[in-house]
Amino acid sequence: MHIFLSKFLLVCWLLGISLLNLQAQNVEVEFGKKVIALDESFTIKLLIESNSSKNNYSAFPQIPGMLKSGLSASMSTVLQNGRSVIVETVTQNYIAPKPGSYVLKPFMIKVNGAEVTSASVTVQVGPPKDPNYVFGNEVYDELLELERKRNEYTDVKADAFFALNTSKDKVYVGEGFMISLGLYIAETNKAELEFYKLEEQLADILRKIRPASCWEENYDIVEVKGSDVTINNKKYVRYTVYQAMYYPLNATPIVFPEIGLTIIKFRVKENADSLQNSKKQDLRTFYTNTRKVTVMPLPPHPLKEQVTVGKFRLKEAISKRSLETGKSFTYQIDIIGEGNLSTIEFKPGNSPAFDFFAPAIKTQQNRTGNSSSGVKSFSFQIVPKEPGLHVLRNYFEWIYFNVEKSTYDTLSSTITVQVSGESQKNTDISLKEMGPVYKNMMRESNRLRDAHEEDWIRMFANLFILGMLLATFVLFFIKR
């Protein structure tokens, strides 16, 4: 019963809302005098009662043989049943070039998306009331020209272009450069433009321009937003649709071909009777220019195929400088700069004075403008084994190719630590360094046992099991 009542109330509420929506708009079509003189106008009025002052309506019908001579609108607020209602009156005037009978067939006008139909009407036009009235060719031609302009779409030239830009024209193998694709619309542009199936087009464009010889870091633009730029002292709004960092893997030149982006361009009726059908869509394709990026090979070096290329600096931190053998400390190295952070690796050299454990690695990427910079951090846990003064640069150095100097460069630690305590160089191998076999050996007892001891235990166990089976068999026959 409770469920039925709830559903009933819900239905009533929905019906109430529907009725309110129906009552929120009332539209009537009203005709003027159907018998007029030649020097008078026939009118069709559209009366719109609604809660809004912004109404959209389609064009008024054409009356064969008559001409539209003007459209006017007025608005007023009236009280109905204690509430305010906005009434908009739209009046379309028609004039006839000569006396006669003019027939308007049944027609339909859309008001705020709702269809309003009207019956046919016949307009009788008699001689002019003013004997001096003359409907000359000039007036007729002027009205015909006005009618033609009402139905003519104006094609406004678009002041815009589509461009593929790169941050550099020449790079080394492994050196990053920015690529971006954007639509640039001039601040003075008068044409109305809109993107057309952008996701589909972009997928096809990227298939054409992505070089196979590059590592890509896509910026993954989720929402296309406009940004103000100035090019040759002219202001534009740039809509970037794709942006990424490319890192060449070899010295093959990179060529970006000419590609096109299709945009919706609207043609507009300058003197439209209404907002309905006042625009017409055309498709216009904008093309980029071809672009080439030259890739230079790295100079000879034993680590040529392994080094990271870019601009970097080193920042380091240590948890304490006065150390003891056998007690761990934390040492962190930050590689900061511009380059492919994913290729950076930092491995300390082997040392009898320290135990180095695998580092915790953290990467932070910052993308601004035409550059991509960031920080890659390595946090090491280290255990000293030998007392004395130790220079960490002997164990921590990183070689890379410096694009500013066009040569290989080395970043190394500048920290020196003092270690106290006894040497642990010759201490027993710790369990953490032993394999599983050795760990199990360490857990086993070293007590000597008689070689025949296990045979006696096995024989006793077998006799016990045999006795249990015989007892079970005897009990089974007794119960029977």
Q: Any alpha helices (H) in 89-165, and if so which ranges?
A: 137-150
Least confident of 283-297, 337-351, 447-461: 447-461
Could you say which DSSP state residue 431 is in? Answer: G
The domain segmentation of the chain, as residue ranges, is 24-151, 160-296, 309-420
The encoded tokens of residue 406 equal 């066009």
The encoded tokens of residue 77 equal 């607020």
pLDDT at residue 1, rounded to an integer:
47
Element (H, E) at 295: strand 291-296
Is 80 exceeded by the pLDDT of residue 14? no
Give the type of residue at 417. Answer: V
Band of the pLDDT at 13, cuts 50, 70, 90? Answer: very low
Band of the pLDDT at 6, cuts 50, 70, 90? Answer: low
Is 50 exceeded by the pLDDT of residue 399? yes
Chain centroid to CA 27: how far?
43
The encoded tokens of residue 253 equal 């030149």
Band of the pLDDT at 361, cuts 50, 70, 90? Answer: very high
Are 392 and 416 in contact by the 8 Å Cβ rule? The answer is yes
pLDDT at residue 166, rounded to an integer:
95
Structural class in CATH, domain 309-420: mainly beta
Residue 335 and residue 312: Cα distance in Å, rounded? 7
The encoded tokens of residue 381 equal 């846990």
| Percent of all residues in the chain with a pLDDT value above 90, rounded to a whole number | 54
Average pLDDT of the residues of the chain? 83
pLDDT at residue 349, rounded to an integer:
78
Is 60 exceeded by the pLDDT of residue 257? yes
Of 52-66, 68-82, 147-161, which one has max mean pLDDT?
A: 52-66
Q: In CATH terms, are 24-151 and 309-420 the same topology?
A: yes
Which of 74, 31, 61, 58 is CA-nearest to residue 112? 58
The encoded tokens of residue 330 equal 């934390």
Element (H, E) at 238: strand 234-248
Give 83-109 pLDDT, tens digit per residue: 778 889 999 999 888 899 999 999 999
The encoded tokens of residue 398 equal 């990183």
Is 80 exceeded by the pLDDT of residue 5? no
Is 60 exceeded by the pLDDT of residue 465? yes
pLDDT at residue 209, rounded to an integer:
94
The encoded tokens of residue 443 equal 């857990």
Chain centroid to CA 50: how far?
39
pLDDT at residue 83, rounded to an integer:
76
**Does 3.30.410 match the CATH number of domain 24-151?**
no
Band of the pLDDT at 476, cuts 50, 70, 90? Answer: low
Dihedral over alpha carbons 164, 165, 170, 174 (to 10 degrees): -90
Band of the pLDDT at 146, cuts 50, 70, 90? Answer: low
Give 275-329 pLDDT, tens digit per residue: 445 677 889 999 999 999 999 999 999 999 999 999 999 999 999 988 999 999 9
Provide the whole-model pTM.
Answer: 0.59
